[in-house]
Structure 1
Amino acid sequence: MTVAAPVTVTIAAPTLLRLTEVELRKMTDTRAGRWLLAVVASAAVALVVVTLTAAPREDRTWPSFLTSSQAGVAVLFPVVGILAVTAEWSQRTALTTFALVPDRRRVLGAKVAAGAVLALFGVVFGLLCATLGRVVASLTDRGAGNWSIPGPMLASVLLAAILSITVGVAFGVLFLNAPLAIVAFFMVPSVLGILAGLVSAMESVNRWINPGAALDPLYDTGITGTEWARLATTMTIWLLIPLAVGTCRVIRTEVH
């Protein structure tokens, strides 16, 4: 009697594109994620309206409307990034995620990629709000400047949005605790800003290590070489180091 050899079935690992799609859905289909994105969208609309009604006429340009629309993205997208990581650990769904995708680095890479996609949507929505604001300004004779946004400015605004949400992901993997990561993200820059106002020697240092001060030039029409250097230094401190340390922690931490 011949015994048939066992059949081995190999299941292909999900692609990075598929993982990114899953992570993007996680960022947007939870109650907290939906509320945060709704607040970001509302802030974009509200700040464009404020610029239209309260800003000086010379500031009612298309680039100025775009800058106003991105304020909510700069403040709240890092929280979206933090929750994208910490929600799985607090709700104990990380065990399922890492069981399906054992290589945890691929999961973290997908979270970063999903954040970049979400940042792109945020900039597109902000551009739409800015365009509507500029149209209304033209129709009511309140606008200024011509109908143009420099290409480098669009690229730098998108870069700022991507960096903002990626810093959130980095803090999420570093702390693996949403309240602690959110408090650290907002408190440390605030303390640095206060120290810069109280101690003159800290003012120069603050521009090199405070993420808010480093990202601000990206929302303008031009950025100098010194500002690029400050941005690189700040992102090394706030993004690369936390992401590297956090990745090591995620890889080595036992999931219960």
Structure 2
Amino acid sequence: MPFARTLQSELRKVVDTRAGLWMVIVMGLLAAIVLAAVVIWGEPGDATFDGLLGMATMPLAIVLPILGIMAATAEWSQRTGLVTFTLEPRRGRIVAAKAVASMLFALGVIAVAFVASALVNVTAGTGTWDLTGAAAGGLVLALMLYVLQGVAFGLVFLNTPIAIVASLVLPSIWGIATALISQLEEVGRWINLDRVMEPLFAGEMAGQDWAQLGTGVAAWVLLPLAIGTYRVLNREVK
């Protein structure tokens, strides 16, 4: 099967299930509510393009990785793996298609968030265009990394509820530990994904920031992705 067809199939699966469709609906509703709240109850200075976009994408940082988890665990949680791996026995291609499909879908959602924030800024906001190119690029890259982390955790656990809980709880526990335990503080500067993402979101990356981002991504994205891929390649399909 050509990779393009596998990718198309995985893209369709993102919203083809009831759970996936509802996740997209909830994501849209949350973004709309947040934008409305900023305009109605926020400070006048918050209703700029940068402020609106930042608020609109806050729920995306949580929901988009969950969609990545659901894409990675679909064959195992819905017991469709036998069909999928019969049509495409090269499991590595399926893993790659799931990762690419999740990121492409996320890019589409992020693009909608950009457009919605721009429209609200023009019609009900301050009309101020204060988002820098570095901040915009950093925002997109950070959300893509979170999506890939979701896919990675889904591949590691191959169980949707467990993967969702693990992706939310494990980084939080590590972040709290590095903040409270002085011996781990220096390590946390390099292997706390949320912490190393802060300058990326702000568009203020410097030399050491890129190195810290690399170690954080290696620990929380690439390592789980490698472990999860190994599991998928070697697990028996029932």
Shift of 1:112: 0.8
Equivalent in 83, 90, 104 of residue 70 of structure 2? 83
Contact 1:44 1:129 in 2 (8 A): no
- 5+ residue gaps in structure 1? 1-12
- 5+ residue gaps in structure 2? none
- Paired-residue identity, %: 39
Please show how residues 1-256 of structure 1 align to structure 2 within 5 Å: 13=1, 15-138=2-125, 143=126, 146-147=128-129, 149-256=131-238
Distance 1:155 1:86, change over 3 A: same
Secondary structure of the equivalent of 1:157?
A: helix
Contact 2:134 2:203 in 1 (8 A): yes
Shift of 1:116: 1.4
Aligned partners of 1:221, 1:55: CA distance in 2, in Å? 23
Contact 2:155 2:229 in 1 (8 A): yes
Aligned partners of 1:18, 1:217: CA distance in 2, in Å? 38
Shift of 1:191: 1.2
Which structure's residues are more often helix, by fraction?
A: 2
Contact 1:207 1:213 in 2 (8 A): yes
Distance 1:23 1:59, change over 3 A: same
Question: How big is each residue's C-alpha offset from its partner over 1:103-129, in whole Å with a ceiling of 9 and x where there is no partner?
Answer: 100011111110111111121111122
Secondary structure of the equivalent of 1:223?
A: coil
Contact 2:196 2:212 in 1 (8 A): yes
Distance 1:227 1:39, change over 3 A: farther
Aligned to 1:4: none
Secondary structure of the equivalent of 1:240?
A: helix
TM-score calculated relative to the size of structure 1: 0.86
Contact 1:67 1:219 in 2 (8 A): no
Shift of 1:47: 1.9
Aligned partners of 1:65, 1:44: CA distance in 2, in Å? 10
Aligned partners of 1:47, 1:243: CA distance in 2, in Å? 32
Shift of 1:148: 5.0
Aligned partners of 2:56, 2:190: CA distance in 1, in Å? 25
TM-score calculated relative to the size of structure 2: 0.92
Shift of 1:174: 1.0
Contact 1:43 1:71 in 2 (8 A): no
Question: How big is each residue's C-alpha offset from its partner over 1:68-110, in whole Å with a ceiling of 9 and x where there is no partner?
Answer: 1111111111111111121211221011111010110001111
Aligned partners of 2:193, 2:36: CA distance in 1, in Å? 27
Contact 1:208 1:214 in 2 (8 A): yes
Structure 1 or 2, whichever has the larger Rg, is 1
Q: CA RMSD in A?
A: 1.8
